[in-house]
A and B are shown apart, each in its own frame.
Chain A
Amino acid sequence: DAGVIQSPRHEVTEMGQEVTLRCKPISGHDYLFWYRQTMMRGLELLIYFNNNVPIDDSGMPEDRFSAKMPNASFSTLKIQPSEPRDSAVYFCASSFDEDLTKNIQYFGAGTRLSVL
Chain B
Amino acid sequence: GQNIDQPTEMTATEGAIVQINCTYQTSGFNGLFWYQQHAGEAPTFLSYNVLDGLEEKGRFSSFLSRSKGYSYLLLKELQMKDSASYLCVESSGTYKYIFGTGTRLKVLA
Binding site for B on A (CB under 8 A): 31, 33, 41-45, 48, 50, 55-56, 91, 95, 101-110
* Contact A101/B31 with A42-B102, A107-B44, A108-B42 known, Cβ cut-off 8 Å: yes
Q: Is the interface of A mostly helix, strand, loop or mixed?
A: strand
Q: Contact at B91–A101, with CB atoms within 8 Å?
A: yes
Q: Contact at B96–A102, with CB atoms within 8 Å?
A: no
Output the nearest chain A residue to B43 by Cβ-Cβ distance: A107
* Contact A43/B43 with A56-B96, A103-B91, A105-B97 known, Cβ cut-off 8 Å: yes
Subset of 24 A-B contacts with CB under 8 Å: A41-B1, A42-B1, A42-B99, A42-B101, A43-B1, A43-B43, A43-B87, A44-B1, A45-B96, A48-B95, A55-B94, A56-B96, A91-B42, A91-B43, A101-B30, A102-B48, A103-B31, A103-B91, A104-B33, A104-B45, A104-B48, A105-B45, A109-B42, A110-B42
Q: How large is the interface on B (under 10, 10 to 19, 20 to 34, 35 or more residues)?
A: 20 to 34
Q: Give the residues in chain A near B41, CB-CB below 8 Å.
A: 109
Q: Give the residues in chain A near B48, CB-CB below 8 Å.
A: 102, 104
What's the Cα separation between A106 and B44 when bound, in Å? 7
Q: Which of A31, A48, A103 has the most CB of B within 10 A?
A: A103
Q: Give the residues in chain B near A110, CB-CB below 8 Å.
A: 42
